[in-house]
Amino acid sequence: MLIVHAAALVTAMYVFFISRIRMGQLSRPSITYAPMSVMNEERQKNLNKIYNCNDVECVNMLRMRRAPFFQLCNLLRGKNLLRDSIHSSVEEQVAMLLHVVGHNQRFRVIHQNWRRSVETVHRYFKEVLYAIGELRHDLIQPPFNETPLKVRNSHRWYPYFKDCVGAIDGTHVYARVPAKMQAAFRGRKNYPTQNVLAAVDFDLKFTYVLAGWEGSAHDATILADALERDDGLRVAEGKFYLVDVGYACRPGFLPPYRGTRYHLNEFGGRHYPTNTRELFNLRHSSLRVTVERAFGALKNRFRIIDNKSFHPFKTSQIGACMLHYTQLDTWFWGR
């Protein structure tokens, strides 16, 4: 009998305490964390000032306006390429990368300004760079086969360039390589560079990019490599790109006449074209300059491309290619 009474007492106590615990859990208010530390408060104020204040501050710090910046963040979040963590949001992760590439800053500078450790900045930089690279098939598209509006609406170019879909050229980006490799990467510049090939349409959007070749490589060699790749450059039947005299005349690529005045400054003042070849070169140059404008806008927007980088060659190679892929200077910025 004593054993039975003891068991009943234990059971009753167990049910009593379980019910009290459940009632306490239901009635207990939600957990509130302690006040944010001074460092976290400074970081949040800094972020709000950058992309929650106005477009001027956002462009100055991130080289993008607020609307396209949040559009990029939502795209990365929607495709599950980046995730909000308990410590950092997607907006902060993307903002750190844009600040690095926009002003060519060291991670230690970001560490001081953003109140993050160097390891954290380095980790998120690599994650965001990889995520942006995964957008290449969504943001970079081959040109349309229709006649561009810029050509169609101009009597200078239509109908002579009605089948032209863009312009191709190469640009040199600083390459940080070991001393034993610098000879191959030193070409026309007095410092090591990588020769980046790009195709641009007449809306200043990049339609193809190939990065990683040494600065001493010839433009024609890089173009041949781009055409031989499985996912390389493709030209539709009957269409062509404008190229400079460094490329050979072949189906799909139209260079100017050699040994004839070509550049716009050669026709300044009263030096008008005197024959059909000079007239063709003048109009060819005035249309092909689009690719030079695209390179200029990109390098002016993101200073890491036009300055000595603090990152190794592998990272800078991916970065040079990814920055073109994202169309950050035209597609997101909404020019």
User: pLDDT at position 104, please?
Assistant: 83
User: Residue 35 above 70 pLDDT?
Assistant: no
Inter-residue contact 294 to 198 (CB < 8 Å): yes
Q: Is this model's pTM higher than 0.75 or not?
A: yes
**What confidence category does residue 335 fall into, taking pLDDT thresholds of 50, 70 and 90?**
very low
The mean predicted confidence, pLDDT, of the chain is 81
Instruction: List C-alpha distances in Å: 274 to 11, 185, 265.
Output: 109, 41, 15
User: Residue 19 above 70 pLDDT?
Assistant: no
> In this structure, what token pair is assigned to residue 120?
């954290």
From CA 249, how far away is CA 257, in angstroms rounded? Answer: 10
Q: Which amino acid is at 319?
A: G
Q: What is the DSSP code (8-state) at residue 192? A: -
> In this structure, what token pair is assigned to residue 204?
């200043």
> In this structure, what token pair is assigned to residue 242?
């404008």
**What confidence category does residue 185 fall into, taking pLDDT thresholds of 50, 70 and 90?**
confident
| Phi, psi dihedral angles at 131 (to 5 degrees) | -65, -40
Instruction: List C-alpha distances in Å: 204 to 8, 24, 98, 148, 165.
Output: 83, 63, 20, 12, 12
From CA 272, how far away is CA 73, in angstroms rounded? Answer: 50
From CA 331, how far away is CA 162, in angstroms rounded? Answer: 24
> Which of 121, 101, 105 shows the shortest CA–CA distance to 43?
121
Report pLDDT digits (tens) over 130-152: 888 888 777 788 888 889 999 99
Instruction: List C-alpha distances in Å: 194 to 52, 133, 176, 303.
Output: 37, 19, 9, 16
User: pLDDT at position 313, please?
Assistant: 59
Give CB contacts under 8 A, 24+ apart, made by 42-50: 42/115, 43/114, 43/115, 43/116, 46/113, 46/114, 46/115, 47/91, 47/92, 47/95, 50/95
User: Residue 317 above 60 pLDDT?
Assistant: no
Inter-residue contact 334 to 67 (CB < 8 Å): yes
Report pLDDT digits (tens) over 210-230: 888 888 889 899 999 999 998
Percent of the chain with pLDDT over 90: 24
Q: Which amino acid is at 279?
A: L
